Amino acid sequence: MTNLLNNHRLFPRKAMIDVFTDLFKILPELIDELTPEGWEKSTYHALFHLNAREHFFERLYYRVIDHNFDLQYGTDPRIRKTGILSENPTDEEIWDVLNTIGTIKSDYKKQPNSPELELASLLAETLFFISRCLYFQSKDSDHWLEVHPEVASNAAAIVARDLGIFEGRSYMKFPHIYSFKRRLIRKIKWLPLMKIVIRAFQKTNYSLVYVDYELLEVIDNYLNDEEDASSKIPNYKNMEHYRLGITSDPDLDEVFDNAARALPSEAVIAYFDVYGDWPQGYPPTQEEYFAMYKKLGDKG
């Protein structure tokens, strides 16, 4: 297949620093814009903190893990060994184990917070989320620039340090989202954050383009039908065929029609809200993607 990696580059750290500098200078205004009822009442703030109930269940979770290990393998003679639960334990078996856990004391204390640092951390994540769907492109190059999450976080931390946002803290590190709360990220309203970041890029020499890799792969399979079938990426006509494992040769008209009818991602919607138009490459068309495929092939 045409080597798509040849057209990839990493988005430069310097450009991220410039954008984050502009944004971090107005963090208080952005906080008011995003959360008019107060940052601490927002879902954004909740990602970084546990309330009393969540703190208790976190303690319970770790206590269950420790206690279950002791029941099976521990050396404390005061704890009766029960062995491993059956593969499909009944509710009664599970509750019998839970009832052997001692009292869990609640020592919950509300942790201090910094709305500015929490928002700065989220803006760095937002930049990465945008680049999972839209690629950056400089005005003097057609390379697709993608954001590395650690580079984005590092660039944001450099700016926060230089602007004194870490002032009064013993270490320069953004607050972290609790690992078991990361599953809630899909429930957070990223659209307002994406619009803020995309707006900031209006003052730069970078634009955003939409590229659907799967469509380029479909074109590659269509043009290289003589290749070994085992090396091809399987094509499924619909989700039902995918579930049943039924593959078929792609119908290009149908594939592109389906792609054009699919709802746009949050990043694409954010772009439209900011610019009043869709990004280059969206919605995808056969003509445009065949031209893109040929151009990538010519570049080698």
pLDDT in tens, 162-221: 898 887 565 567 888 877 788 888 888 899 999 999 999 988 889 999 988 888 888 887
Most distant CA pair in the chain, distance: 74
Q: Which residue, among 111, 108, 113, 110, has the nearest Cα to 174 in the 3D structure?
A: 113
Taking the C-alpha atoms of residue 75 and residue 50, their distance in angstroms, rounded to an integer, is 33
Average pLDDT, the chain: 82
pTM over 0.75: yes
Q: What is the pLDDT of residues 219-238, one digit of tens each?
A: 887 777 655 555 566 667 66
Interstrand relation of 8-10 and 144-146 (parallel, antiparallel or unpaired): parallel
Q: What are the pLDDT digits (tens) for 130-165?
A: 998 898 988 888 888 889 989 999 999 999 998 988
Residue of 4 and 188 predicted with greater confidence: 188
Give the separation between CA 280 and CA 206, rounded to whole angstroms: 13
> In the predicted model, what is the mean pLDDT of residues 100-118?
77
Please check the confidence at residue 19 and state whether its pLDDT lies above 90. yes
